[in-house]
Amino acid sequence: MNSFLHFHVTVPGASHIRKGAACQDFSKSVCFGDACAAAVADGHGDIRYFRSGTGSRFAVEAALKALREFVSREESCCPPDGMDEKLNQLKKNMILNWNRKVARHLSVHPFTPDELAPLSENRRANLTRGKWVESAYGTTLIAAAVTPASWFGVQIGDGDCCAFRSDGTCASVPKEPGLAGNVTTSLCEPDAIEKFHHFFEAGVPASVVMSTDGVRNSFLSREHYRKFLRKIVSAFSAEPYRATKTNLRDFMAEMTEKGSGDDLSVAGMVSRGEPPA
Amino acid sequence: MEFESGHQLKVKDSDDTVTIRDKLGEGGQGIVYRAAYRGGEYALKWFFPHALKKPREFFKNLCQNIADGAPTPSFLWPILVTEQTDGSFGYLMKLRPPAYQSFTDILNAKMRIVRHSARVNAALTIVESFLALHRQGKSYQDLNDGNFFIDPAGGDVLICDNDNVAPYGVNLGIAGKCRYMAPEVVMGEKPGMQSDYFSLAVMLFLLLFLSHPFEGEKVIKSVCLTDEHEKKHYGSDPVFIFDPSNRSNKPVRGVHNNAITLWPLYPAFLRDAFTASFTKGIRSKEARIPDSEWIRLFVRLRDEIVTCGCGCENFAGAPGAEENGEVRCLGCGAPMVRPLRLNVRKYSVALYPGNRLYACHTSKDGADFRTVTGKVVRNRNNPNLWGIRNLSGSVWYVEMPDGSRKSVVPESVLPVFRKVKIDFGNAGPAEIV
Amino acid sequence: MSNPFESTEGIAKRTMVLFFLVDTSGSMAGKKIGAVNDAIFNVLPEIRTISDDNADAEIKIAALTFSNGARWLYDEPKPAKDFDWPYVDADGLTDLGEAYRMLGVKLSRNAFMNDVEGSYAPAIFLMTDGEPTDDYKKELEKLKNNKWFHVAIKVAVAIGEESDVNDDVLVEFTGTPEAVLRAHTPEALSKMIRLVSVTASKIGSQSSAVGQGTRQEAFTDELNKQEQEWEPVNSAENVDEGWD
């Protein structure tokens, strides 16, 4: 039995429900062998990024596919040196996987006049010519994996990914500097690889939790947000899995009402050992 | 095992000493210190005792290099070697001025070379240095981006880490970085002049396009790049990212942004040269472009640079910037007048204010691409009237379109009109078209 | 069994802060400052409505006046429903630089942007009629390095005749000439204040956008659309009216 349990929850944003818009977040978590992985993605949502709901699903799928293969090679998880190179290759592979899914989808479902009509002339002309088509699927992406020897995470765009160590301290995947307000970087940008960050640590954490930005944006401060994450972790450690997941989902539905109104996703992996302090 | 400040080392075959000041840096092979010698400040590289695979040969080679001297001033060359002590030795060289940035930093976009002219200048200097090295019968042996330092403002180049330079056939036991090695060398063959040509092509491609010629989709298909993969992608099965007949390794959006945006900016003749180097040139060593040909190509590229009023440099012959036959400035988008050209020998120099003529254009000395012999200037009273000022030191003879002839003495200016013919002396026929 | 998450604390709506930077120098005295006072006072109810209807974000307002030096009306941004505009007087110089400096101090997570992690990008509305009298360029340069300023929607209203206001100063602030509006009369000024506040509040609380500057674009697009709804005043007509 895997020493980690994994979970993922996505809840559509209250404001999106009101406007009749689809949920643009996607999340998934999975185990392969003695390793676990999770990913969340947040599609950008406005009329310019009109297929970002599909884009976020592709991002999560592309990430987990890459992680499965990465983790299956023992040597990729252990050595501390050369890890930057390895994670760079991993990120490039994720971008490639996402590009391919987008291209395949587009070839089967070309842009419709309805989708293109609300756009500016410039953008419409570009998309029709086949330029910058990825932008229609634009999304952020956060993905992480834990193995018996280490954990690592990758992130492009806003959102958060933290690992709680057994001593209670926290390590997070770095974000692109200069992000403020609700401006984000994205998988659809031409220089995505430059803005795709990673973090790696040897040793097994007590838990790794990630969320799309709607979650943190619902809290008054970082401390309140962190407390929420710890609560999630201790609930999954102590209480029955199914009930905890349902409770979390119900609560997140309320949270988006009272908080950011945005789509919310939380995913992660929690050690089955002792619950953290 | 580091030296303290003040430590003294004896110079080989001399009474002089070198005094250590402080540590500047450290690499796999040894430590570099700042040192004082005869009242001046220098750099001293001291090798770790067991870092060299063939220390005796290396030492011998080093002494020979010192005796031969630097091939060109661009080489930061060993000046003297110390006595062997503590199981090792070191050599002295000049300090590198701070304006020069590591090529690695430029590749990682920590520093940018903004102007085309600076980039072309860097390319010419790098090729020139290879040429000089080859003329001495030597080769590089450990080529990588860490060896080259470039001043981003003007494109001047300093080549460092020259202790691995050795005559052809002499193998000092150094393995270069896979990325820069010719495929046959990756697969185990000994390096030679033609493998240097290949490495040179890779360096130049990196300089211009900030992207590696063999790193595209094929390379990132695998989540993990093992040593086996490296051998395949650089050795047994390299595919050029812009290979017109094999698109399996094309650049990937989001990852290889530089290749995608920069490739279309350059004139076709240059792109064709790179394409030939990285398609035919993989298997066929004879198809590789030698140093002298690269120089001609980059002089030709330099002839294409025109500076817009906004200050941005463009290529007059670049297809990417053209719409309706017009060249648009990459910086401000303003349309740029299609320049007239001076055709002389194989060259076609774009005549735009600020552009220069060099000795390779105006004299028989086809190799001198540095001496300025002419400059395109604007007439103060009529800004649409341009001329070429004679800076060559000898008289030029000009035949105007109406048949009349005049002589253009040094410092004076000949007008730029279509069909003007110029006799520079012994460069052959030249005409403005 | 109760939901263990019910006791989670600290949940709140995102905030969007609307900044008013108001020139209260001597030349604004009389009809101009009267128009500003009137316009802001009258637009508040509308902003409150937008804030209430907008379940995504709470709109807060922070106002700074500048003449000799600059001062904030309140210590912290106030929710629209709690913000009262105290009619201000006009007298003194035009210390735009000081206004920029104080704005920069507050545009930080430790100050006015601390409310919720990842507040919406703010909207900054500058209203002025004349040449700055201090070294404002230096302060503007510093502001440009502030990441909140960078992503903010910026708009400037030039109040008065062509000759009075230095357009360049305003374009430097907004970054684009399209976000510089001109008000020749008190009526136009009021309309403009209303239009800008309302549009900024709407656009400001949009969902994520990729890359900076896109919100500014969306804002000016929207503004251009709306401008067609009210006729711009023909400056030749009312040039003698409206201003002393």
Chains near C with 3+ CB pairs less than 8 A apart are A
Residue C54's pLDDT is what? Answer: 67
**Chains A, C: CB pairs < 8 Å:** 143
Instruction: Report how far residue B317's alpha carbon sits from residue A21's, in angstroms, rounded to the nearest whole number.
Output: 49
Residues 153-192 of C with CB under 8 A from A: none
- Render the burial of B224-236: b for 16+ CB within 10 Å, e for the rest: bbeeeeebbbbbe
Percent helix, strand, coil in chain C, to 5, is 40, 20, 40
With contact defined as beta carbons under 8 Å apart, do C116 and A217 qualify?
yes
pLDDT digits (tens, 9 = 90+) for A94-150: 999 999 999 999 999 999 999 999 888 888 999 999 988 999 999 999 999 999 888
- Judging contacts by C-beta atoms under 8 Å, the chain B residues touching residue A92 are 220, 252, 255
Average pLDDT, chain C: 79
For chain C, residues with pLDDT lower than 50 are 228-244
Secondary structure (3-state) at B124: helix
With contact defined as beta carbons under 8 Å apart, do C148 and C119 qualify?
no
- Higher-pLDDT residue of A68 and B105 is A68
Secondary structure (3-state) at B370: coil
Residues of chain B with CATH 2.60.200: 339-432
Structural tokens at position A210: 């990630």
Q: Which residues contact A104 (CB under 8 A, 6 or more apart)?
A: none
Residue C53 sits at the chain A interface (C-beta within 8 Å) = no
Residue A245's pLDDT is what? Answer: 95
Q: Which CATH superfamily is B101-294 part of? A: Transferase(Phosphotransferase) domain 1 (1.10.510.10)
pLDDT digits (tens, 9 = 90+) for A215-249: 998 888 888 999 999 999 999 998 899 999 999 99
- Higher-pLDDT residue of A44 and A75 is A44
- Judging contacts by C-beta atoms under 8 Å, the chain B residues touching residue A66 are 223
Q: Is B182 exposed, middle or buried (0-12, 13-18, 19+ CB in 10 A)?
A: buried
Per-residue 3-state assignment (H helix, E strand, C coil) for chain A: CCCEEEEEEEECCHHHHHHCCCCCEEEEEEEECCEEEEEEEEECCCHHHCCHHHHHHHHHHHHHHHHHHHHHCHHHCCCCCCHHHHHHHHHHHHHHHHHHHHHHHHHHCCCCHHHHCCCCHHHHHHHHCCCCHHHHHCECEEEEEECCCEEEEEEECCCEEEEECCCCCEEECCCCCCCCCCEECCCCCCCHHHHCEEEEEECCCCEEEEECHHHHCCECCHHHHHHHHHHHHHHHHHCCHHHHHHHHHHHHHHHHHHCCCCCEEEEEEEECCCCCC
**Chains A, B: CB pairs < 8 Å:** 59
- Higher-pLDDT residue of B245 and A257 is B245
Class for domain C13-227, per CATH? alpha beta
Residue B123's pLDDT is what? Answer: 94
With contact defined as beta carbons under 8 Å apart, do A40 and A26 qualify?
yes
Place of tokens 């587009």: A106
- Higher-pLDDT residue of A274 and B206 is B206
Smallest CA–CA distance from A65 into chain B, residue: B223
Closest Cα in chain A, distance from residue C135 (Å): 27
Closest Cα in chain A, distance from residue B304 (Å): 28
Place of tokens 């817009």: B308
The closest CB to that of B224, out of A89, A99, A192, belongs to: A89
Residue C211's pLDDT is what? Answer: 65
- Judging contacts by C-beta atoms under 8 Å, the chain A residues touching residue C13 are 258-261
- Judging contacts by C-beta atoms under 8 Å, the chain A residues touching residue B253 are 99, 134, 190
Smallest CA–CA distance from C153 into chain A, residue: A181
- Judging contacts by C-beta atoms under 8 Å, the chain B residues touching residue A75 are 224
% chain A with pLDDT above 90:
65
Residue C122's pLDDT is what? Answer: 85
For chain B, residues with pLDDT lower than 50 are 321-322
The closest CB to that of B254, out of A85, A89, A192, belongs to: A192
**Dihedral in degrees, nearest 10, Cα atoms B394, B396, B397, B401:** -170
Residue C41's pLDDT is what? Answer: 86
The closest CB to that of A76, out of B109, B224, B260, belongs to: B224
Instruction: Report how far residue A71's alpha carbon sits from residue B223's, in angstroms, rounded to the nearest whole number.
Output: 10
Give the domains, in start order, of chain A with CATH numbers: 4-271 (3.60.40.10)
Smallest CA–CA distance from A99 into chain B, residue: B253
* CATH architecture group of domain B339-432: Sandwich (2.60)
Helices of type H across B211-290:
217-220, 227-231, 257-262, 268-278, 280-283
Instruction: HSE, CB side, 13 Å, CA atoms: give it for residue A56.
Output: 27
Place of tokens 């002792």: A274
Instruction: Answer yes or no: do B224 and A86 touch at CB < 8 A.
Output: yes
Instruction: Report how far residue C189's alpha carbon sits from residue A71's, in angstroms, rounded to the nearest whole number.
Output: 63
Closest Cα in chain A, distance from residue B216 (Å): 10
Closest Cα in chain C, distance from residue A258 (Å): 6
Structural tokens at position C140: 């503007």
Average pLDDT, chain A: 90
- Judging contacts by C-beta atoms under 8 Å, the chain A residues touching residue C203 are none
Residue A205 has pLDDT above 90, yes or no: yes
Residues 16-75 of A with CB under 8 A from B: 66, 69-70, 73, 75
CATH fit for domain B8-94, picks 3.40.50.720, 3.30.720.210, 3.40.50.300, 3.30.200.20: 3.30.200.20
Chains near B with 3+ CB pairs less than 8 A apart are A
Residue C237's pLDDT is what? Answer: 35
The closest CB to that of B223, out of A70, A187, A188, belongs to: A70
Instruction: Answer yes or no: do B224 and A66 touch at CB < 8 A.
Output: no
Residues 82-121 of C with CB under 8 A from A: 114-121
Domain boundaries, chain C: 13-227
Place of tokens 């410092």: B411
Residue A84 sits at the chain C interface (C-beta within 8 Å) = no
- Judging contacts by C-beta atoms under 8 Å, the chain A residues touching residue B255 are 92, 95-96, 192-193
Partners of B82 in the β-ladder: B11
Structural tokens at position C74: 């309140």
Closest Cα in chain A, distance from residue B257 (Å): 6
Closest Cα in chain A, distance from residue B256 (Å): 8
Smallest CA–CA distance from A189 into chain C, residue: C210
The pTM (predicted TM-score) of the whole model is 0.83
Residue A87's pLDDT is what? Answer: 93
